[in-house]
Structure 1
Amino acid sequence: MSMFKKMLASVGIGAAQVDMLIDDAEIHAGDRLTGIVRIQGGRVSQNVDDVYAYVMTKYRKEQNDSHVEVEAPIAKILLAGKFTVEAGQTYEFPFSFELPDMTPVTIGRTPVWIQTGLDIKEAFDPKDQDYLNVSPHPHAQIVWEAVEQLGFRLREVTCEYAPAHGRGLPFVQEFEFAPAASEFRGRLDELEVIFFPSEDGIELLLQIDRRARGLSGLFSEALELDESFVRCRFSRSDLGRGASAVAQELAGIIRRYS
């Protein structure tokens, strides 16, 4: 009977289960995620090599003349090492880790979730998925407010395949803003922004060429940078002066290239 139970557990029947209990699913990119991981032993004892958590999202990629959605890990976090999950026993331990600065914002169709699992050799690897509501990194939030002060309104957000510019990730998250009531209405059709926040500040990649209208996936298709793409950076000190000061700097850049 014991051997039969082990065979069932190896394919997931009566195996150990894992569940991540998150303290607060509302979080900013770069903030600390905390909670408890609960592991419930199954019908037989099982040896676990690792307890891990992946920060996951999805991005769009062009394939065979169509767009497909691809799941992508943003980071892998080791929560615990080797131990034995005894049959029928419950284990709980706290976790705490920082969400990566480059975690996408969960706007539109962009999901972010934590996939927690138990690495069990030669057996079913149980997983648990917990979705997050991710707001912009504080540094990106200041720039976003600055863009809005200039009269731009968010029109679309997408994660697009662009491995050469993802800073270690296979994609970038594009924010497309439309000039609503501002001096730039009529001068350009849209402003596309990619945020690269860090502890020291933020780098931006801007597309401010008015000829951009009507093109989809600009960054993914045209990231062999040309004159229509502009890089700029704001230090932590720059950002500390507030959104209005950042807006003035951005306005000068947009005027120069629009």
Structure 2
Amino acid sequence: MKKVLASIGIGNASVDTVLPSETVRPGDTVDADVQITGGDAEQEVGTVRFEIETRYRTEEGYETADIDRFTLAEGLTIEPGQEETRSVSFDVPYGTPVTTGEVEVWIETELDIEMAVDPEDTDYLDVRPTPRLQAVFDAMDDLGFSLHGAACEADPYGRYASGRRFVQEFEFRATAGRFRDELDEVELVALPGADELDLFVEVDRRGGLLSEMAETDERKTRTSIESADRKTVRADLERVVERHA
């Protein structure tokens, strides 16, 4: 009877991932403990899965994406009341989006138990920008742009990067400074890496209705950010925006 009840989630085994901190940055290495506790009956765990996930926007709605996933253990037998802790070390992928606005990133740990409700644990992360991306944010602020919105958008045709289902887009509005009367907004798609930050830039100039309908008010370009120095990045971005304003 206990096994029957466990199969529908009553008296089932449980899992809990303990992180040293919920605050991370892409490129960080994080050490965590996965604590597994047996339920009221012996259960065979096929695999212990560990996934980093987010949601992105498509034309049909929102979809969940695995940023990274791996198997922590296989063929594990959990006795009633048994407590077991597995240590895990993982790298936060550079493609992990920054959790600003409505963007969420979480870790999901799941026990794959055949013929039973799979126990799982969800831990939300506070993902901060890489140093280069933070320098971009600071530089845009210096140039008179304020962050208006951030979202993860589908990239089904690999427009920005092959092999990725989505990208994160940041929308900045010109609210002060020299570009306030020239530009409506600047949109950035950032692809951080270990050695540089690829930045896709779309500059939307102020224009009339016809130019907006024809999208002739939009200029697109691409640049690479290698420095994390605020002044250096500001000078680089100012040249890029000025060239396409």
Q: With structure 1 as the length reference, what TM-score do the two structures score? A: 0.84
Using the TM superposition, give the Cα deviation of residue 43 of structure 1 relative to its aligned residue in structure 2, in angstroms: 1.4
Using the TM superposition, give the Cα deviation of residue 112 of structure 1 relative to its aligned residue in structure 2, in angstroms: 1.0
Equivalent residues of 1:57, 1:72 under 8 A apart: yes
Matched with 2:212 is none
Matched with 2:12 is 15
Matched with 2:141 is 148
- The reply on whether 1:31 has 2:18 as its aligned counterpart is no
Using the TM superposition, give the Cα deviation of residue 211 of structure 1 relative to its aligned residue in structure 2, in angstroms: 5.8
Give distance in 1, aligned partners of 2:71 and 2:130.
Answer: 23
Please list the CA deviations of residues 179-237 of structure 1 after superposition, one character each: whole Å capped at 9, or x if unmatched: 222111111110110110000111001111326999xxxxxxx9xxxx722111123xx
Give distance in 1, aligned partners of 2:194 and 2:111.
Answer: 32
Please list the CA deviations of residues 97-124 of structure 1 after superposition, one character each: whole Å capped at 9, or x if unmatched: 1111111111111111111101223332
Give distance in 1, aligned partners of 2:14 and 2:208.
Answer: 50
- The reply on whether 1:79 has 2:76 as its aligned counterpart is no
More helix by share: 1
Please list every run of 5 or more consecutive structure 2 residues that lacks an aligned counterpart in the other structure.
Answer: 210-214
Equivalent residues of 2:182, 2:206 under 8 A apart: no
- The reply on whether 1:229 has 2:226 as its aligned counterpart is no
Give distance in 2, aligned partners of 1:213 and 1:170.
Answer: 34
Q: How does 1:45-194 map to 2 (within 5 A)?
A: 45-63=42-60, 68-163=61-156, 164=158, 165=160, 167-194=162-189
Equivalent residues of 2:41, 2:80 under 8 A apart: yes
Q: Alignment RMSD, CA only? A: 2.1
Give distance in 1, aligned partners of 2:162 and 2:104.
Answer: 20
Matched with 2:243 is 256
Give distance in 1, aligned partners of 2:22 and 2:9.
Answer: 28
Matched with 1:208 is 203
Please list every run of 5 or more consecutive structure 1 residues that lacks an aligned counterpart in the other structure.
Answer: 215-221
Identity percentage over the alignment?
A: 39
Residue 220 of structure 2 aligns with an amino acid whose one-letter code is F
Equivalent residues of 2:146, 2:175 under 8 A apart: yes
